[in-house]
């Protein structure tokens, strides 16, 4: 089998195990980067600043860096496992192979909910951005945001339906523009080129430094996740990259480095210009802090650049979320964790078309009918549950298949330190979320317990157990 040419257009995606139509292997590391960073970068443009409201600007910076450590662990662990379990579904597939069916079912749902909620939140934001543009262009009426919210979801679903290469090339272009916009804003306002407008010392002195003390720092961790939430989405491209062992670690690790830079620069730029009371109020104060900073710079060029940056970041995030949610839903359908009907691949476009279409009305219902903060909270909580699973996953992976038993595309260093750090930071963040959104946290855990019972007592009998473990791995140690 080793002589099979995987780049062949007639053979690509049509391999053993009876596959006649499979997902198309056309992506490279840049697409993986665009998928991960594309989903997240909107968090730099808006959302992270709620952390400032929780504990002031310094608290947001501490949360930024602690969340950065959390996500660096996530990226390293993901890179190792996914470069080995290179299949659609990402963490769902990892859980299926390494932990067991019930964990896999839960992780699959975390993924679909996290990405679909985030997609809905992005569509709501895009609708709001169109209304801002209308007001700025002199429109005096009240713009109906609904057609723009629906258009964003329908256009991006259509793009995803038509093929993964165009979808993620589109993401690559708009994500790169949005990232460059942050760099340009930093260079233009920090004093590196021309006169700077930064006022850190004046804005952060006295009580403004840590207005709510250290408990504020803890509370800020909840929204600190927003700087990076979604980078783990790179794993969903595993079945569509040309070389998983190379592209997934490369794209994911380059992605987290990009985000660490973007997050720190964003904090520096915005906290140096906007007072923390205004910056931290993401509803009535600074909805889009980078854009507000550009407006204060007085440069029309920067206002336009950051305006487009905000819109592009929003679209890139929604686009990546559709890609990821549909792959997770598709993978669960393929294994009969959900009805097998969802495991279909489009014979021409080679995309999981039924999963893409099925998730459209769900995203629309949340985008049109649910408040933004609730949608975002549900997304964050689902993501947090997923991160809590990862340390357990990597510890079991290393134990069952030690380094000398199977080939890995990437081996993350200092094991088990990253797993322990990740688990500890997840615990801290759960407490931070409990402080602000305890009811939602309890309600959501209750929801996952109920669906777990449903899976255990009813759905599991339909799971395709024979086709579940298709990787040609040796038996795990101890079995």
Partner 1 sequence: METWNYIEYAAWGLSALFGLYMVIDWFKIDTTYSEDVLTSSREGELEAMTEQHKV
Site of interaction with partner 1 (CB under 8 A): 1-2, 4, 6, 13-23, 25, 86-89, 93, 134, 137, 139, 141, 143-144, 147-148, 150-151, 154-155, 157-158, 161, 239, 244-245, 331, 334, 340-341, 343-348, 353-354, 356-357, 360, 404-407, 467, 470-474
Q: Which of 217/356 has CB closer to partner 1? A: 356
Smallest separation (angstroms) from partner 1 to the CB of 470: 4
Q: 86 or 444: whose CB is closer to partner 1?
A: 86
Instruction: Report the C-alpha gap between 26 and 149 in whole angstroms.
Output: 30
Q: Assess contact for 397 and 472: CB atoms under 8 A.
A: no
Angle at 188 between CA 187 and CA 192, to 5 degrees: 55
Could you tell me if 228 and 263 are in contact, meaning their C-beta atoms sit under 8 angstroms apart?
Answer: yes
Give the list of residues 6+ apart from residue 8 with CB closer than 8 angstroms, or none. Answer: none
Give the residue with the Cβ less far from partner 1, 22 or 436. Answer: 22
Q: How far is the CB of 31 from partner 1 (least distance, A)?
A: 16
Give the whole-angstrom CA distance, residue 357 versus residue 362: 10
Q: How far is the CB of 5 from partner 1 (least distance, A)?
A: 9
C-alpha span between 34 and 41 (Å, rounded): 10
Any residues with CB less than 8 A from the CB of 174 and at least 6 apart, and which?
Answer: 38, 312, 313, 315, 316
Round to whole Å and give the CA distance between 125 and 131: 10
CB nearer partner 1, residue 298 or residue 347: 347
**Least distance to partner 1 from the beta carbon of 300, Å?**
21
Q: Which is nearer to partner 1, 406 or 420 (CB)?
A: 406
Cis peptide before 10 (omega within 30 of 0): no
Give CA–CA dist 308/305, Å, rounded: 5
Number of H-type helices and E-type strands within the chain: 17, 0
**70 Cβ neighbours under 8 A, 6+ residues apart:** 225, 228, 387, 421, 422, 425, 426, 429
What is the nearest approach in angstroms of partner 1 to the Cβ of residue 326?
Answer: 12
Q: Cβ 13 to partner 1, closest distance in Å? A: 7
Any idea which residue has 């933004």 for tokens?
372
In terms of CB distance, is 139 or 431 closer to partner 1? Answer: 139
| Alpha-carbon distance values, 288 to 43, 251, 285, 407, 425 (Å) | 10, 27, 9, 45, 27
Task: Name the residue nearer to partner 1 (CB basis): 449 or 467.
Answer: 467
Shortest distance in whole angstroms from residue 38 CB to partner 1? 20
Nearer to partner 1, 155 or 462 (CB): 155
C-beta atoms surrounding 398 within 10 Å? 18
Q: How far apart are the first and last CA of the chain?
A: 28
Residue 94 or 379: the one with the smaller Cβ distance to partner 1 is 94
Supply the minimum distance, in Å, between the C-beta of residue 204 and partner 1.
Answer: 40
| Closest distance of CB 344 from partner 1, Å | 4
What's the closest the beta carbon of residue 161 comes to partner 1, in angstroms?
5
Q: Give the span between the Cα atoms of 366 and 372, in whole angstroms.
A: 9
Distance of alpha carbon 472 from the chain centroid: 30
Shorter beta-carbon distance to partner 1: residue 1 or 201:
1
């Amino acid at each position: 089998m080793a002589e099979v040419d995987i780049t062949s257009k007639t053979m690509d995606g049509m391999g053993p195990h009876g596959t006649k139509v499979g997902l198309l292997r056309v992506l490279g590391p840049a697409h993986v980067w665009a998928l991960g960073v594309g989903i997240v970068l909107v968090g730099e443009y808006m959302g992270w600043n709620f952390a400032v409201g929780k504990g002031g600007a310094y608290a947001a910076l501490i949360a930024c860096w602690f969340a950065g450590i959390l996500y660096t662990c996530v990226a390293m662990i993901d890179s190792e496992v996914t470069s080995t379990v290179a299949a659609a579904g990402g963490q769902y597939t990892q859980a299926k192979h390494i932990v067991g069916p019930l964990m896999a079912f839960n992780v699959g749902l975390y993924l679909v909910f996290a990405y679909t909620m985030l997609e809905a939140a992005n569509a709501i934001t895009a609708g709001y951005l169109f209304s801002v543009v209308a007001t700025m262009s002199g429109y005096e009426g009240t713009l109906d945001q609904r057609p723009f919210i629906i258009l964003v979801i329908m256009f991006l679903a259509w793009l995803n339906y038509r093929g993964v290469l165009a979808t993620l090339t589109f993401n690559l272009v708009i994500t790169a523009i949005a990232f460059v916009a942050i760099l340009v804003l930093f260079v233009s306002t920090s004093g590196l080129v021309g006169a700077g407008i930064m006022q850190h010392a004046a804005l952060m002195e006295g009580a403004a430094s840590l207005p709510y003390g250290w408990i504020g720092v803890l509370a800020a961790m909840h929204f600190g996740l927003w700087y990076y939430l979604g980078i783990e989405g790179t794993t969903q491209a595993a079945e569509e990259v040309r070389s998983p062992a190379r592209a997934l670690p490369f794209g994911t690790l380059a992605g987290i480095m990009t985000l660490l830079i973007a997050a720190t620069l964003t904090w520096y730029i915005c906290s140096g210009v906007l007072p923390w009371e205004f910056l931290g109020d993401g509803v009535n104060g600074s909805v889009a802090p980078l854009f507000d900073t550009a407006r204060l710079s007085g440069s029309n060029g920067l206002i336009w650049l950051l305006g487009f940056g905000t819109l592009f970041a929003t679209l890139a995030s929604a686009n990546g979320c559709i890609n990821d949610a549909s792959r997770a839903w598709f993978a669960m359908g393929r294994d009969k964790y959900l009805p097998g009907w969802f495991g279909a691949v489009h014979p021409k476009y080679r995309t999981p078309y039924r999963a893409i279409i099925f998730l459209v009305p769900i995203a629309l219902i949340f985008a049109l009918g649910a408040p933004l903060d609730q949608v975002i909270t549900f997304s964050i909580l689902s993501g947090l549950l997923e991160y809590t699973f990862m340390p357990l996953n990597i510890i079991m992976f290393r134990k069952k298949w030690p380094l000398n038993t199977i080939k890995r595309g990437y081996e993350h260093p200092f094991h088990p330190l990253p797993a322990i750090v990740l688990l500890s930071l997840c615990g801290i963040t759960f407490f931070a979320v409990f402080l602000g959104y305890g009811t939602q946290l309890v309600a959501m855990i209750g929801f996952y317990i109920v669906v777990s019972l449903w899976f255990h007592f009813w759905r599991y009998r339909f799971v395709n157990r024979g086709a579940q473990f298709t990787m040609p791995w040796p038996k795990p140690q101890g079995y």
